[in-house]
Structure 1
Amino acid sequence: MSGEDDSKLEVSEEQIKEAEVCKETANKYFKEQNFDEAVKWYSKAIELNPNVAVYYANRSFANLRQEAFGYALSDASKAILLDKSYVKGYYRRAAAHMSLGKFKLALRDFETVTKARPNDSDAKKKFLECTKIVRKLAFEKAIAVDKKNVADTIDLAGMAIEDDYFGPKLVDDKVTLDFMKKLMDCYKNQGKLHRKYAYKILLDVEQLFMKQPSMVEVHIPDDKKFTICGDIHGQFYDLMNIFTLNGLPSPDNPYLFNGDFVDRGSFSVECIFTLFGFKLLYPDHFFMSRGNHESVTMNQMYGFEGEVKSKYTEQMAHLFTEVYNWLPLCHCLNNRVLVMHGGLFSRDGVKLDELREIERNKQPPEDGLMCELLWSDPQPQDGRAPSKRGVGVQFGPDVTHRFLKDNGLDYVVRSHEVKADGYEVAHDGKCITVFSAPNYCDTMGNKGAFIILNGKDMKPNFTTYEAVVSTKS
């Protein structure tokens, strides 16, 4: 590493001092976990003095915490450009690469860090973790040709139910309402569903999703209500609170859960089996869209894969991947409202017929319609911009209006972003975000929300709620 960049801009002593004050203010906000404000103040410091690598590395870290991986990557690279010997820059860039699933690039940066700091135990741990993932991916790629469907390898008949198992049981291999109530009670008491029933639910729900198109069309009668929930992220007790506030799913109380059911929270397994159970119980009145976290890379990075291996088996983790590949990508309600996890597209002229025909049985690609449905975000200004996440696109009000007009729709609903009130109405009321995981990651302090509409006017009504504090450890 050869030191600092020579092409620095001239900055006055006054600007240098003022920039340091902005950085300290930003640091204070960061410690309070107010990452929005932290980013604003780091940006002010950079405007005053764009020559300091630390400012970019700090802003990179704040962006990482907000899942703005694209911005985090750009800032870390700028920090390295300013000072090639600045180790934290490489550390931040490695973390951004990891978050985007670019493990080989992350490994290269972690290698730089460990060479510069051979005694840094955290850097060494991350380097080894990344090395394992790269080797595992290489191995899986090498054997992919001979790989069978995991579903075909499951031997349900060979799984015995032990005499001391007192948890919920499927009746005649079917999910019933009684089973679902017992399952939720079991989970509330930190119990566990027997692996035989867990595998059975996964195999059955995979068959159900395989029969659905990539865009599911939902009819809501004039006099019926319909509920849309956003990200749940493994927050089981908050999921239970939604059902307490709004009633259990039923033919008269249909739900759509709009992706990101797992990762981050500690009870992702409990959340996903509850949701899959209701999908099997009410296949025509309970709907689930794929989110960007229903993917291998995200599940490796943010906890779900490890949780499944801990509570069940590695084989089940692979089966989940297979099931997620068949989740529908979006839902069209009464031909008036399109609901997807992420957002709209990098080109105009996309029609609903194209969404129906997307080949979805795969891991999300890095571009194209499927990627954008899972990853894109709205922006307040017109036009399009590169995504702050490094995947997908940011789209403005004009993009939303053209898409709605082209397809005869009223508005779009999406999730994917934490909002202080649990929801946000943007783009002149035509683009609504709903996020249902309150106090996200136990740190964000946000409310959760869900949307209720009825078939007649399709007008969105919002219910907000605070996080539930579990009494269980």
Structure 2
Amino acid sequence: MASADIANSVLAQAEEIKLQANESFNANKFSQAIDLYTQAIELNGKNAVYWANRAFAHIKLEEYGSAVQDASKAIEVDPKYVKGYYRRGVAYLAMGKLKEALKDFQQVVKVNPNNPDAVKKLKECERAVMKLKFEEAIAVHDVERRSVADSIDFHTIEVEPQYSGARIEGEVVTLDFVKKMMDDFKNQKCLHKRYAYQIVLQTREMLHVLPSLVDITVSDNNHFTVCGDVHGQFYDLLNIFELNGLPSDENPYLFNGDFVDRGSFSLEVILTLFAFKCMSPTAIYLARGNHESKSMNKIYGFEGEVKSKLSETFVEIFAEVFCCLPLAHVINGKVFVVHGGLFSVDGVKLSDIRAIDRFCEPPEEGLMCELLWSDPQPYPGRGPSKRGVGLSFGVDVTKRFLQENNLDLVVRSHEVKDEGYEIEHDGKLITVFSAPNYCDQMGNKGAFIRFQAPDMKPNIVTFSAVPHPDVKPMAYANNFLRLFS
């Protein structure tokens, strides 16, 4: 066969694989689509479409760092390929990098000035950047900032006679109150702001005195449940409690971050978890996720939802409480539980984590950032983060960390998994994710892990999504981001 025929055959094969990748993408099988686009790229790396399509699949999996890399490659291959700039702009936007996104959307309009959709999105981006600049200009430095929570006295807030929802009598949050509140939430009724203030402020007091790394003891023959991301999926949270029982001292839970954002019942989720914490501090433990932060809440819906259902003041108070959340937990000295993952350096001890000053918005590097953002990778060593924040770490990193700290297992969350969980790194690391059919489109199962003392072997329970009222995910998200959803 002539070399030209061979070349054409390879190009045709790449195009056929791209079509298969498109089918996987349209079926929401984004990881499979990435694998297929990769095969097409290996056969023909000079086709900008393959790079941009793979970038889009990375966006769907929230792998925004990888999306930026692929979209940049598409632009390098074909500087006039509009979708390269568009996809990179969307990825920057999702990372909160509005100024970088603006440059890409300006380029989209420059290449394609008669596209009304592109012009509309550019104007929205310009508005968002102007707003950001204004907020930066009037921002008060943390050192000067007075606590909003300290200025609130919930006792002085009157409850109207016609209010028929759940009530806290006095200072104590009871199980009866929490059950009534959850039932009201299930029926899409609101909690009076007096009781919302009481729950959130009491939770803040409890969390504030905890160390950044919390030790949990489970006595012999008792059990302990770890849940992953819930992401505002309140009705799936209720289903977890149906399957595994309500939190109590005899049935304790750890919720491992990302309680809010994306799902449009985030307020109901966070008030339920906080109320159980108030009812009994040892019935429920809460860890910070990367979405318990101002920058994420501003983009992905929690801020908009809180403003809509409660008030702007609550946005500030939740931000303060999120800064009090512990960063990691150790169960019975053996199981290390963290939202994201491990570190860019070896030799990190549990005492180093315990010593982190966590009372701040998450920084963009360092131990706290890595605890919230990192992900495991299937090969040894360390690599750049597919998210653009944190890093990827291999089996050798996991095993060294466990060995140096006399631990048996890492449990983390942070990533959607088809079965609700994944066991990696020779069984030394488990990802658990508790938001089934994530964002109403991923089709994944949810999972939680039950540990029984003293052996502390993980027993993984999976479950499917349950129906919820017709409020779409991201309903309260940043207007600009919704344009690209």
TM-score range, shorter chain: over 0.9
Q: 1:389 aligns with which of 383, 387, 390?
A: 387
CA shift in 2, pair 1:235/1:340, >3 Å: same
Deviations 1:413-452 (A, max 9, x none): 0011111211111111110111111111111111111111
CA displacement at 1:229 relative to structure 2:
0.4
Q: 2:60 aligns with which of 40, 51, 65?
A: 65
Residue 14 of structure 1 aligns with an amino acid whose one-letter code is S
State the SS of the aligned residue for 1:450: strand
Q: Which moved more, 1:108-117 or 1:309-318?
A: 108-117
Q: Which moved more, 1:124-133 or 1:338-347?
A: 124-133
CA displacement at 1:320 relative to structure 2:
1.3
**Counterpart of 2:122?**
127
**Counterpart of 2:24?**
29
State the SS of the aligned residue for 1:428: helix
Counterpart contact for 2:288–2:327, Cα < 8 Å: yes
CA displacement at 1:174 relative to structure 2:
2.6
Counterpart contact for 1:231–1:435, Cα < 8 Å: yes
Q: 1:291 aligns with which of 289, 292, 297?
A: 289
Matched, 1:114 2:112: no
**Counterpart of 1:263?**
261
Q: Distance in 2 between matches of 1:179 and 1:439?
A: 30
Q: 1:437 aligns with which of 435, 451, 461?
A: 435
Matched, 1:99 2:94: yes
Deviations 1:348-397 (A, max 9, x none): 10000000011111111111111111111111211111111111111111
Q: Which moved more, 1:18-27 or 1:273-282?
A: 18-27
State the SS of the aligned residue for 2:330: strand
Counterpart contact for 2:276–2:283, Cα < 8 Å: no
Q: Distance in 2 between matches of 1:153 and 1:325?
A: 17
CA displacement at 1:286 relative to structure 2:
1.1
Matched, 1:212 2:210: yes
Q: Distance in 1 between matches of 2:220 and 2:132?
A: 50
Residue 454 of structure 2 aligns with an amino acid whose one-letter code is K
Residue 445 of structure 2 aligns with an amino acid whose one-letter code is K
CA displacement at 1:315 relative to structure 2:
2.1
State the SS of the aligned residue for 1:339: strand
Q: Which moved more, 1:409-418 or 1:131-140?
A: 131-140
Give runs of aligned pairs for residues 33-432 of structure 1, distance below 5 A.
33-143=28-138, 144-145=140-141, 147-154=145-152, 156-157=154-155, 159-432=157-430
**Counterpart of 1:6?**
none
CA displacement at 1:115 relative to structure 2:
3.6
CA displacement at 1:337 relative to structure 2:
0.9
CA displacement at 1:157 relative to structure 2:
4.9
Q: Which moved more, 1:162-171 or 1:237-246?
A: 162-171
Counterpart contact for 1:231–1:258, Cα < 8 Å: yes
Q: Which moved more, 1:118-127 or 1:292-301?
A: 118-127
Q: Distance in 1 between matches of 2:125 and 2:149?
A: 28
CA displacement at 1:221 relative to structure 2:
0.6
Q: Which moved more, 1:191-200 or 1:238-247?
A: 191-200
Counterpart contact for 2:221–2:454, Cα < 8 Å: yes
CA shift in 2, pair 1:262/1:372, >3 Å: same
Q: Which moved more, 1:183-192 or 1:462-471?
A: 462-471
CA shift in 2, pair 1:119/1:310, >3 Å: farther
Gaps spanning 5+ residues in structure 1: where? 1-10
Counterpart contact for 1:189–1:472, Cα < 8 Å: no
Matched, 1:462 2:457: no
RMSD of equivalent CA atoms? 1.8
Deviations 1:229-252 (A, max 9, x none): 001011111100110111101110
What is the percent sequence identity of the aligned residues?
57
Q: Which moved more, 1:260-269 or 1:296-305?
A: 296-305
CA shift in 2, pair 1:128/1:297, >3 Å: farther
State the SS of the aligned residue for 2:58: helix
Q: How many residues align?
A: 464
What TM-score do you get using the length of structure 1 for normalisation? Answer: 0.94
Q: Which moved more, 1:384-393 or 1:107-116?
A: 107-116
Q: Which moved more, 1:243-252 or 1:85-94?
A: 85-94
Residue 278 of structure 1 aligns with an amino acid whose one-letter code is F
Residue 358 of structure 1 aligns with an amino acid whose one-letter code is I
State the SS of the aligned residue for 1:12: helix
Counterpart contact for 1:19–1:45, Cα < 8 Å: yes
CA displacement at 1:122 relative to structure 2:
4.0
**Counterpart of 2:475?**
none
Q: Which moved more, 1:453-462 or 1:306-315?
A: 306-315
Deviations 1:292-321 (A, max 9, x none): 111122212221111111112222122211
Q: Distance in 1 between matches of 2:354 and 2:260?
A: 25
What TM-score do you get using the length of structure 2 for normalisation? Answer: 0.92
**Counterpart of 2:477?**
none
CA displacement at 1:149 relative to structure 2:
2.0
Gaps spanning 5+ residues in structure 2: where? 1-5, 472-485
Q: Distance in 1 between matches of 2:311 and 2:426?
A: 47
Q: Distance in 2 between matches of 1:428 and 1:42?
A: 28
Residue 161 of structure 1 aligns with an amino acid whose one-letter code is V
Q: Distance in 2 between matches of 1:250 and 1:35?
A: 38
Residue 53 of structure 1 aligns with an amino acid whose one-letter code is A
CA shift in 2, pair 1:125/1:252, >3 Å: farther
CA shift in 2, pair 1:190/1:44, >3 Å: same
CA shift in 2, pair 1:429/1:14, >3 Å: same
Q: Distance in 2 between matches of 1:294 and 1:124?
A: 33
Deviations 1:105-128 (A, max 9, x none): 112212222344445454344434
CA shift in 2, pair 1:135/1:150, >3 Å: farther
CA displacement at 1:472 relative to structure 2:
6.8
Q: Distance in 1 between matches of 2:301 and 2:458?
A: 33
